[in-house]
Amino acid sequence: MFDIALVAVLLFVVLLGSSVWIGLSLFATGYILLSVFKPNIPMEIYAGKVIWGSTTSLELLSLPLFILMSEILVSARLGRSLFSGLAPWVGRLPGGLLHVNVAGSTLFAAVSGSSAATTAIVGKVTLPELAARGYNRSLAMGSLAGAGTLGFLIPPSIIMIIYGVVAGQSILELFVAGVVPGILLALCYSGYIAIHQIVTRSQPKQDVSTFAEKLQGLRQIGPIAILIIGIMASLYLGLASPTELAAVGVMGALLIAVFTGEFTVRGMVDAGRRAVRTTSMIGLIIIGAALLNAAFGFLGIPKAIATEIAALGLSPFALICVLLVFYVIIGMFLDGTSIIVMTLPVTLPLIMAAGFDPIWFGVFVVVTVEISQITPPIGFNLFVIQSQTGETIGAIARAALPFFLVLLGFALLITLVPEIVLWLPGTLQ
């Protein structure tokens, strides 16, 4: 079985190295494995059934809607409002306006679900503003790279939807489980920024904001705050399913665009096109991974790997540490969607056998996917920041290193204190 697994890995690497799309590489690897090692399977019929089954889940309907909501808010130029609204409130904190990266990313994450979109919309405004005010460039880039990952953890999260569908878990519970960890992680980021600035004393002098300026700031962030409160309240009170919530979110995003004077037909058409492209990319990855996972199942690879790992006799905490290292390594080369749909058939049975809650594991996996967003060579947040700054990937990765370590520490923290994840979902029962 391990020889077949090695063949699969080599085949997948060769396809990726040949610039074949990830989704097609996954699909081709699964198709070839079944054709060679299970030639009695009618592949045309079987592959068709796998494609149909992997793309017709009702829960997946919320995915394109949340993506569309995010793109509409991007078209509404939300970044400028976030910076103007938050700056008067955080300017006097240790770290000053650097906290806008964290607070802005936290707010936008609560209405986007995308890490790259969060990094792009916040960084487009904050990086030039911070540079003009003399803030540490490395810390500005690093804090944006780290805070941008909150788009995956704070609901509504695209990655959580995919995890819920693949793992067969409640998307609503996953969304609720991500609230407390998301806020706590944002506080950890801000805590590091504050400590760094206190130690280095490198913060530029910041003018004191008047009460009128703070009040104007609240008006700037008011529309998005109302949308966030509506989403969170609906989640916790169970007033809407994830799909219904996504539809309401799209309407809310449209109203914000109208309210801020940024609504244009061209902008909305562009937002729709970007949403279609992103959804199609994710759908292709889901289809490819579904066939590859089906091939693995037929060949008994997940069971063989799980048996070998179980034979090591690892404690539950040691198992999580091994999985954390595993996810960090593969996260250097794959995107979050691919990571989840490829690994869950192996890792989910392992952690459930070790006594971990699958909802907790969903949040843990999301944190590891966040780590992959800021690890070279394929860290999407790093590329987003590079496009905005012109810096090298190496320089941005070095700037993001402290926030990479914060994420690692946070993954271990929720392992040692799982109630951080499970407390809020538990109140729903």
The residue extents of the domains of the chain are: 2-426
- The position carrying tokens 């006594």 is 355
Q: Assess contact for 185 and 368: CB atoms under 8 A.
A: no
Cα radius of gyration (the chain): 22
> Token pair for residue 367?
């944190």
The contacts of residue 163 (CB under 8 Å, 6+ apart) are 169, 174, 340, 344, 362, 365, 366
Strand spans (E) along 170-277: none
Task: With 0.75 as the threshold, say if the pTM is over it.
Answer: yes
Q: Assess contact for 153 and 189: CB atoms under 8 A.
A: no
Residue ranges in 94-210 assigned as alpha helix (H): 99-112, 115-132, 137-148, 150-153, 158-167, 171-177, 179-200
How far apart (Å, rounded) are the C-alpha atoms in residues 64 and 27? 22
pLDDT of residue 401: 95
How far apart (Å, rounded) are the C-alpha atoms in residues 386 and 400? 12
Query: Of 402, 385, 369, 367, which Cα lies nearest the Cα of 185?
Result: 367
Nearest 5°: the CA angle 400, 404, 408 is 175
- Burial per residue of 7-33, b for 16 or more beta-carbon CB atoms within 10 angstroms, e otherwise: ebeebbeebbeeeeebbebbbbbbbbb
Helices (H) and strands (E) in the chain, counts: 22, 0
How far apart (Å, rounded) are the C-alpha atoms in residues 30 and 50? 11
Q: Assess contact for 305 and 344: CB atoms under 8 A.
A: no
> Token pair for residue 238?
């169970």
Q: Assess contact for 325 and 372: CB atoms under 8 A.
A: no
20 membership: H or E segment, kind and range = none
pLDDT of residue 178: 94
Q: Assess contact for 113 and 123: CB atoms under 8 A.
A: no
Q: Which residues of the chain have pLDDT under 70?
A: 1-2, 205-208, 429
Secondary structure (3-state) at 390: coil
Is the bond preceding residue 156 a cis peptide, omega within 30 degrees?
Answer: yes
- The position carrying tokens 């920024």 is 193
> Token pair for residue 6?
């090695």
Secondary structure (3-state) at 42: coil
pLDDT of residue 33: 86
pLDDT of residue 429: 62
pLDDT of residue 398: 94
Query: Of 121, 139, 107, which Cα lies nearest the Cα of 204?
Result: 139
Q: What is the DSSP letter of 27?
A: H
Q: What is the DSSP letter of 377?
A: S
pLDDT of residue 299: 80
For the range 424-428, what are the long-range contacts, defined as Cβ-Cβ under 8 Å and sequence gap of 24 or more?
A: 424/176, 424/177, 424/179, 424/180, 424/236, 425/173, 425/176, 425/177, 425/359, 428/173, 428/176, 428/236, 428/238
pLDDT of residue 206: 66
